[in-house]
Structure 1
Amino acid sequence: MAELIDLGEFGDGFRRDPHPVYARLRERGPVHRVRLPGVDSHFETWLVVGHEEARAALADPRLAKDGRKIGITFLDEELIGRHLLTVDPPQHTRLRGLVSRAFTMRRVEELRPRIQRITDDLLDEMIPRGRADLVDSFAYPLPITVICELLGVPEMDRAEFRKMSTEAVAPTSSESEHAAFTRLAEYLVELIEDKRCAGPTGDLLSDLIRTTAEDGDRLSVGELRGMAFVLLIAGHETTVNLISGTVRTLLAHPAQLAAVRADMSLVDAAVEETLRYEGPVENATFRFAAETLEIAGTRIVRGDAVMVGLAAADRDGLRYPDPDRFDLHRDTRGHLAFGHGVHYCLGAPLARLEARTAIRTLLERAPGLAPDGPPGDWLPGMLIRGVRTLPVRW
C-alpha cells in the first residue's frame, strides 16, 4: 500500500505556498496517494506531481472525466448537468464540436477592440484614485464583463453572479457550495429560457441555442445549461487570477517588472511565465481510473480518483531548470496551465488576449505601479490559485 499523505497536516502554509510541499513530493516520486485539505478533507486521491507524468495522464483515455463510469457523481453534475469537464469522448467530442461552431477563433479575435475599450474604461475610472484593490477594480470586472457580453448575461445580474461563481470554484463550506450551485442552476435555467423566447440576439448563448451540426444534432436544454456554466465560470474565474497573478508576480520581482516596463514586447512572456510559475488553476478537476493502470510504476486501481497537479508539474526541474525562479526569458513551451489533450482549455486564446491587453495597458498607464500593502487571503481549496485582494498604488 502506498503511504497516505494528509495535505491538511501542512496547515495554512500549504494554501499560501504549496510549492515547497509539491517539491518534496516530487523528490520522492511523481505520484502520491493524498488526502485533500479543507472542504474535501474526507476525499482521497492520487496526485500526479511530475511534468512528464502529468502530461501523459491528461491525455490518457483510461483516466475518465465521467465519474458515472465508476458510480460517482459530483455536485455540479447533479445540479447543473453534464458538461465538457464531466464527459469523455465520444460525448465530449460531440459537445466540443457544437460549441466550437459558435465559439470560433475569429469570434475571439473580433473581441480585441472591445476588450481594449473595457480595459481603458476601467483604468479611466481607477487611475485618478491613485490606489486601488486591483482585483476588485480591474482584474475581476474585465473578464466578467467580456464573458457576460459574449454570452449575453444582463449587466444587472453580474454582481450576484460573482458571489455564486466564486463560492462554486473556491467553496468555504459544503453548505455554501451547495447553495451556490443551486442558485447557479436556477439562474441558468431562467437565462436560457429568456434567450430562447427572445429569438436570435447575436450573443454566444443565443447562437448555441440555435447551433445545429450537419447531421441536425443540437444541444439539449440540460447540455445548454452545462455549457453556459462552463463558459461563464471558466471564462472569467481563471482570467481574473491570471491577470492579478501576473501583476502580483511582477511586483514581487522588481527586476523582471523593470524589464517589462523597458520593453513592452515582454508582456506576452510575462503572461506565459506566470502561467507556468503561478498559474490560476492549481490542479485539474478529477479524473477516474476506468480500468486498472500504472502511472510511473504506481498501480492505480479501477475506480480510483486521480488529480493532475498542474502547478506542481510546471515547477518540475526535470522540465524547467531552476523552476522556482521567475524568468521572462525562459522557454515556457509545454506548460500545462491550460491542460493538455482533448480537454485542453477551450477559452485559452481568449484568456491570453485579455491578460496581455490588461497587463500591457495597465503598465503603460500606471508606470509607477507598486504594492500598497500585502495581498489578501489566498482562495480556499486546491482548484483556483489566487488572492482575494491585491492593494496597489501608482
Structure 2
Amino acid sequence: MSEPVTGDYITNPGANPHDLSARLRAECPVHRIDYPVGASAYVVVDYKTNQEAFNDPRLSKQLENAPAWFRERTLSNSPVVAASMVLSDPPEHTRLRRLVSRSFLPRRLKRLRPVVQGITDDLIDAFPGSGEIDLLTDFSYPLPLTTICVLFGVPESDRALFKYWGTYLSGSPGDTDPGRAAKRREVNDEVTEYLGAVLADRRAHRDQLREDLFSDLVRAADEDDMFTDEELVSTMIQLILAGHKTTATLIGNGTVALLRHPEQLALLRSRPELVSSAVEEFLRYEGSVDRGSLRVAAQDMELGGVHIPKESFVHLSISAANRDPSVFVDPDRLDITRSPNQHFAFGHGPHFCAGSPLARLEANIAFETLLRRLPSFELAVPFEELPWIADSSIGRGVEAVPLRYEKRLPR
C-alpha cells in the first residue's frame, strides 16, 4: 500500500491544494492520510464517493463511535460542542435539527434582509473615501458576526466576545496541543456561563420575551419539552459561532477569485443580476469549508473500493469533490454563469448545513453592495503574498485581503 497523504493536506493546504487533489483523484477516490497524526484515517477526494459517503449511515458523527482517546479529549476540551447536533446521528440529529431549522424559516430571512443591507452599508460607510482597507477585518468578519448577533439580540457591547470565543471553539475538538486545549476549555466554560445566564434571564421574564432568536429558541424548547438546557446552550453556540466565520471567509475567498479573473469581475459588474450564480460558483471554486465535519467508521466497511477499519476517521474533501472533472466541466475555471452547479459547499444529505440560507443571503448582499459602492478596486499586494490558512477544524481561506480603491459611492 502506498504511503499515506501527509496531514499538511488538511492542516496546511496553502493557496493551491487543488493540484494535489487532482493527482490523488486520478489514482484512487480514497487515500490513507496521516491526520489525526498516528490515527487510522482516510480522505475521500472524488465527487461520487463523497456523495455516497455523505449519505452512508455507517459513517457516524457520534463521539461514541470515535476512538476512546478522541472521545475523551473532546469531552474534556469542549463538552458544550460534544452536546451539539454536529456530533450526532439520526434520530438524535433529526431531533436537534428541528430546533436549529426554526432559526432560518423563509419569513424570518425575509424580515432580516433589510437588516443585513443596513449593516452592509454601515460598514462600507466606515471605509475611507479612498485608500486601502483589509476586507476581512473591515467588512467580511463584522458583517455576518453583527448579523447573527442582531438576530440573537446580543448587546453591541458583547459582540466582540463572540468573535473571540469563535476563534477557539471553531477549532478541532480533538486538538492535541495542550495550550490550545486548555484555552478551548476556558472559552467553553466562559461561553456556557454567559449563555446559561441569558437562558435563565429569558425564562425568568417569560411575559417579556423579545422578538429575537434567543427568545424563540427558549419558547420552542420549552413548548416541545424535548431539549435539555445543555442542548439548548449548545445549539445557541453552534448558531452564533459557526454562522459567521465561514461566511466571512467565503466573502474573502470570493473577492480574491474575482480579482484573479478580471473578465469575471467585469461580467459581474456589468450584470449584477448574476450575483446569486456568482456566489454559488465562489462556494464551488474556492469555498470556505475544505471538508465535511467529523465522521468515523462505525464498523469495518468499504468505501470507493478501499477497506476502512472500524473507528477510522474519514475526511470528506469538499474542495476536491468540487473540482472533480467528471461532474464539473473545466473545473479549475471560475465561471460565474455555471449551471448546473451542484457543489458540496454546504455538505449533502441529512447533515446539509441548516444555516445555508443565511450564508447565501449575506454573501449575495455583500457582493451586490461592494461592487455597487466601490466602482473599482484591486489588491494592494501581489496575489502570491496573500496568506492562506486552514483556520478551523474544517475551514480554509485567505487570512487577509488588502484592497486599494479610488472612490467610495454613497449608499
In the superposition, the TM-score normalised over structure 2's length comes to 0.88
Q: Which residue of 2 aligns with 1:30?
A: 29
Counterpart mapping for 1:147-186 below 5 A: 147-170=148-171, 174-186=178-190
Shift in alpha-carbon separation, 1:293–1:213, aligned structure 2, 3 A: farther
- More divergent stretch after superposition (125-134 vs 303-312): 125-134
Q: Which residue of 2 aligns with 1:56?
A: 52
- Is the CA contact 2:153–2:213 (under 8 Å) kept in the aligned structure 1? yes
Q: Which residue of 2 aligns with 1:17?
A: 16
1:5 aligns with 2:15: no
- More divergent stretch after superposition (147-156 vs 161-170): 161-170
- Partners of 2:330 and 2:355 lie apart in 1 by 29
RMSD: 2.3
Shift in alpha-carbon separation, 1:188–1:154, aligned structure 2, 3 A: farther
- Partners of 1:17 and 1:259 lie apart in 2 by 25
Shift in alpha-carbon separation, 1:83–1:96, aligned structure 2, 3 A: same
- Is the CA contact 1:46–1:305 (under 8 Å) kept in the aligned structure 2? yes
Any gaps of 5 or more consecutive residues in structure 2? 406-411
Shift in alpha-carbon separation, 1:272–1:298, aligned structure 2, 3 A: same
Shift in alpha-carbon separation, 1:364–1:174, aligned structure 2, 3 A: farther
1:197 aligns with 2:197: no
Counterpart mapping for 1:358-373 below 5 A: 358-373=366-381
1:2 to partner: Cα distance: 6.0
SS in 2 for 1:211: helix
Matching residue within 403, 408, 411 for 1:392: 403
1:187 aligns with 2:183: no
1:206 to partner: Cα distance: 2.2
- Is the CA contact 1:51–1:314 (under 8 Å) kept in the aligned structure 2? yes
1:47 to partner: Cα distance: 0.4
The CA deviation string for residues 138-193 of structure 1, in whole angstroms up to 9 with x for no partner, is 00100000011112222222223223312333579552254134314422332232
- Residue 142 of structure 2 aligns with an amino acid whose one-letter code is P
The CA deviation string for residues 202-251 of structure 1, in whole angstroms up to 9 with x for no partner, is 2112221221487x433211101211121112110110011111111101
In the superposition, the TM-score normalised over structure 1's length comes to 0.92
Q: Which residue of 2 aligns with 1:115?
A: 116
Any gaps of 5 or more consecutive residues in structure 1? none
Counterpart mapping for 1:1-394 below 5 A: 3-8=3-8, 14-36=13-35, 40-70=36-66, 71=68, 72-73=70-71, 74=74, 77-170=78-171, 174-198=178-202, 199=205, 200-212=209-221, 216-374=224-382, 376-380=386-390, 383-394=394-405
- Residue 389 of structure 2 aligns with an amino acid whose one-letter code is L
The CA deviation string for residues 305-325 of structure 1, in whole angstroms up to 9 with x for no partner, is 111000011001111121111
- Partners of 1:285 and 1:178 lie apart in 2 by 22
- Is the CA contact 1:80–1:185 (under 8 Å) kept in the aligned structure 2? no
Shift in alpha-carbon separation, 1:193–1:107, aligned structure 2, 3 A: same
- Is the CA contact 1:209–1:219 (under 8 Å) kept in the aligned structure 2? no
- Partners of 1:107 and 1:43 lie apart in 2 by 43
SS in 2 for 1:46: strand
- Is the CA contact 1:164–1:181 (under 8 Å) kept in the aligned structure 2? no
- Partners of 2:238 and 2:248 lie apart in 1 by 15
Shift in alpha-carbon separation, 1:174–1:162, aligned structure 2, 3 A: farther
- More divergent stretch after superposition (93-102 vs 242-251): 93-102
- Partners of 2:102 and 2:170 lie apart in 1 by 27
1:116 to partner: Cα distance: 0.3
- Is the CA contact 1:273–1:332 (under 8 Å) kept in the aligned structure 2? no
1:43 to partner: Cα distance: 4.3
1:41 to partner: Cα distance: 3.8
- More divergent stretch after superposition (94-103 vs 114-123): 94-103
- More divergent stretch after superposition (353-362 vs 321-330): 321-330
- Residue 390 of structure 2 aligns with an amino acid whose one-letter code is P
- Is the CA contact 2:10–2:390 (under 8 Å) kept in the aligned structure 1? no
- Is the CA contact 1:143–1:240 (under 8 Å) kept in the aligned structure 2? yes
Structure 1 moving runs of 4+ over 4 Å: 9-12, 170-174
- Is the CA contact 1:241–1:280 (under 8 Å) kept in the aligned structure 2? yes
- Partners of 1:337 and 1:102 lie apart in 2 by 20
- Partners of 1:290 and 1:108 lie apart in 2 by 37
The CA deviation string for residues 112-140 of structure 1, in whole angstroms up to 9 with x for no partner, is 00000000111111152432000001001
The CA deviation string for residues 56-107 of structure 1, in whole angstroms up to 9 with x for no partner, is 1011111110021344522565354411110011101111112323442221
SS in 1 for 2:397: coil
- More divergent stretch after superposition (160-169 vs 294-303): 160-169
SS in 2 for 1:277: helix
